[in-house]
Structure 1
């Protein structure tokens, strides 16, 4: 298909015909070009199209979203298998004795891939639903702020959304080594590895570390930092680390060195602790880098930060005052799916409206790590004048019933008792996180939450202690008639 026929097909889809190409050096013109077909890119394209823009979606492979292919979904499939294995191991606490239980690692990984592929297929339906002429396979390189090249063709767009995602950050010490895994390769292994060093104690590293450990893999986690799961509350982070270390070793504040030894890898570490251990595999979960290489951002005139990422306004997703917008993991801000989707929608809408760019209210920050217990950060971290209420789950009634009585929740409030955030490492933490995020979003006070119904016996009752402490510190009264069943033993 010629470039000019492509141009005509893109813009004759039941709408007013686009004016003829004005510049003979330009092959394709569109209103909004979206570079990247992941979660943020798809959201941006939809949003721009709904706003009336003629869109062009560009991607180098159209392989599906990070979440479906190498992120959220395959990791949760592995975690689900691990949870089942762990539950069987705990059955004797309830007087249930099972026979010999074996873990078929090959079958575990086959199920992960089979269902992962189904999630990817579902994600690809959104892309396949677009007209062929409204998507272009290839890598885009900016020529200027409003034009770029793809496969030798020159594209001019009134506005552009960059949504190219991110890639694993792999330390140079692992260059050329065998059995080095990332989230993009770990789900492709045929069998569970005998041993695994996990480099990085962030959300991804801990989720996979615990999952593999519960499936019988000898796991050790290393991190240069001093916290786990990116938690900023030291009390909660310490609680979570203590609980996780019942299952596998975690070494924080350490520097590591690696060397290949035949088919295995020797890891030595020093710092807060020191040692040396041999592993069959290494999983690198040391963060992700914005996938901006090769875009030619230097040709756009955009102001870049020290890492080469465009500076942008998170309320509009606009890069400076330009017609370029950015969304998703490539902006290196909040690498989680719901934020990528929200950013894509904001960027796409504003790209379609440019230069009439409008700020959007962003939702309360919410990040969840699906360890057991889950951890979460909600809203703003505690500051110097923050009021803090705490709930310790070691004696919580429902948690004791289910042999899950461990963990901590710390809820933050302003001096009027209005909730501002929380940090969680407790059973059912992902559900608590949503409840608290909604309360923060609605500017509710601790007293207002205590006036809501709490059924007994539930995990949700565990919030009451923290909320009451906030009320006591702000001298806000709370209804004594709702105290029934608050005792952990009742």
Structure 2
């Protein structure tokens, strides 16, 4: 008899867990995957995918407004929130089915139930069944974090509930200044809601390049979104179907909905980690792992948001694939977490890869900045008051491009391609030698010749 029931037991049927399961099964491993909610995880079910669908739909009204400048006369238009939600649900159900089918085709078995560790090799299912596994992979992702409890917090929704609202709120208050808060601010504003963003910091998008932060805020405010920084939500009162949000500054805001998007925490509670001896990283609250995604227990690994390293779906997928290659394919692979491109599907959109100006100046003695801020060609006809930002951060000593930051239409698409060059350590001369593709906004990336700023750190005496 086999020493273990399965070679690999994966806890979590999200993007990272699914990739690991499929690749391990392709290598011949006997694999079981436990998912207590829906296959696909945060990204597919209540994250990136439905978010992007909502973002695309929210652009339509602006496109209709812009059409007039190009000669189009469009009559009365209407929007139905319920139709949007229903059609989104159909697409998510289709994707969930595809995830399930792909896992099962690989030969892995799916159990739709909660799984808890009893020891380093034993998993107890909510059905009462116990399974032993040679290796265990934890890929349970993250969950919304509402932060310290405030009076009335029971009235607050997260991004999870935002995808299933029965109706579009006329007025909404969103606390947070990162990816999720700004993306939903643009979504609701695009569909016609009056949106107020409340953030505790001095400006939105903490951790992003300072020029990006300023530019996005200015553009969002042009579009009618109110952004209040330097304060937090202190209390929420409910009056029938309405809410009054009291701020730490002493002011208050009336709305039909209040949403918190102040971060996500690793989904580690109730997994039996202590019983198995799996350590938590005290610095971030996620499962502690090494460069191979191995936990403090030799046969237990963890990937994705539950480790709280780089919380992006493609990173979880890459980590899951690398784990399967290393453990079951005997092809050791470590994931390089440096120079990972990322996008914020705010309105306007942000795409960024590599170092910010501030990070570069802290690490390099000579930093050159190439920056342009211009009106896109579409706006010259539509009349819309909007501008695009493009910025390159360059090591003035080696000429290597350290970072690229874009704010404007299709920023994410452009950044994905530029990320290849940045990852390959392309120089500014390489960018300059590339012929511009005209007329595009992205041609600015290969036509900026004169630094807009030059920072040289003097050597210590």
**TM-score per shorter chain, which class?**
0.7 to 0.9
Report if the CA contact (8 A) 2:369-2:454 is conserved: no
Evaluate the alpha carbon distance shift between residue 50 and residue 121 of structure 1 in structure 2; reply closer, same or farther with a 3 A threshold. Answer: closer
Which structure 2 residues correspond to residues 374-389 of structure 1 after superposition, within 5 A? Answer: 374-381=349-356, 382-384=359-361, 385=364, 387-389=367-369
Matched with 1:210 is 186
Deviating more after overlay: 373-382 vs 214-223? 373-382
Residue 144 of structure 1, CA deviation: 2.1
Task: Give the distance between the partners of 2:248 and 2:194, measured in 1 at CA.
Answer: 20
Q: Deviations over 1:183-224 (max 9, x none)?
A: 222121232111111121211111111111121111111112
Q: Partner of 2:339: helix, strand, or coil?
A: coil
Matched with 1:15 is none
Evaluate the alpha carbon distance shift between residue 94 and residue 265 of structure 1 in structure 2; reply closer, same or farther with a 3 A threshold. Answer: same
Matched with 1:485 is none
Corresponding position: 1:249 with 2:229: no
Q: Partner of 1:383: helix, strand, or coil?
A: helix
Bigger radius of gyration, 1 or 2? Answer: 1
Residue 398 of structure 1, CA deviation: 6.5
Residue 436 of structure 1, CA deviation: 2.2
Which structure 2 residues correspond to residues 74-93 of structure 1 after superposition, within 5 A? Answer: 74-93=50-69
Matched with 2:122 is 147
Evaluate the alpha carbon distance shift between residue 433 and residue 388 of structure 1 in structure 2; reply closer, same or farther with a 3 A threshold. Answer: farther
Task: Give the distance between the partners of 1:187 and 1:147, measured in 2 at CA.
Answer: 36
Q: Partner of 2:163: helix, strand, or coil?
A: helix
Evaluate the alpha carbon distance shift between residue 255 and residue 136 of structure 1 in structure 2; reply closer, same or farther with a 3 A threshold. Answer: same
Report if the CA contact (8 A) 1:398-1:457 is conserved: no
Corresponding position: 1:266 with 2:244: yes
Backbone CA RMSD of aligned residues: 2.8
Residue 440 of structure 1, CA deviation: 1.0
**Normalization by structure 2: what TM-score?**
0.87
Residue 471 of structure 1, CA deviation: 12
Corresponding position: 1:177 with 2:177: no
Structure 1: which 5+ runs fail to align?
1-19, 23-27, 475-490
Matched with 2:459 is none
Which structure 2 residues correspond to residues 105-144 of structure 1 after superposition, within 5 A? Answer: 105-129=81-105, 131=107, 134-144=109-119
Structure 2: which 5+ runs fail to align?
457-461
Task: Give the distance between the partners of 1:380 and 1:261, measured in 2 at CA.
Answer: 47
Evaluate the alpha carbon distance shift between residue 161 and residue 390 of structure 1 in structure 2; reply closer, same or farther with a 3 A threshold. Answer: same
1:369 to 326, 344, 347: 344
Matched with 1:10 is none
Task: Give the distance between the partners of 1:95 and 1:118, measured in 2 at CA.
Answer: 38
Q: Deviations over 1:313-364 (max 9, x none)?
A: 2x3111246221111121112222211111111123334368x965344563
Matched with 1:11 is none
1:186 to 162, 171, 176: 162
Task: Give the distance between the partners of 2:445 and 2:337, measured in 1 at CA.
Answer: 26
Corresponding position: 1:323 with 2:299: yes
Task: Give the distance between the partners of 2:382 and 2:411, measured in 1 at CA.
Answer: 15
Task: Give the distance between the partners of 1:39 and 1:244, measured in 2 at CA.
Answer: 31
Which structure 2 residues correspond to residues 458-473 of structure 1 after superposition, within 5 A? Answer: 458-466=440-448, 468-469=450-451
2:274 to 289, 298, 317: 298
Task: Give the distance between the partners of 1:102 and 1:320, measured in 2 at CA.
Answer: 56
Q: Deviations over 1:243-289 (max 9, x none)?
A: 00112111122121222222222112235xx5211111112212111
How many corresponding residue pairs? Answer: 444
Residue 293 of structure 1, CA deviation: 0.8
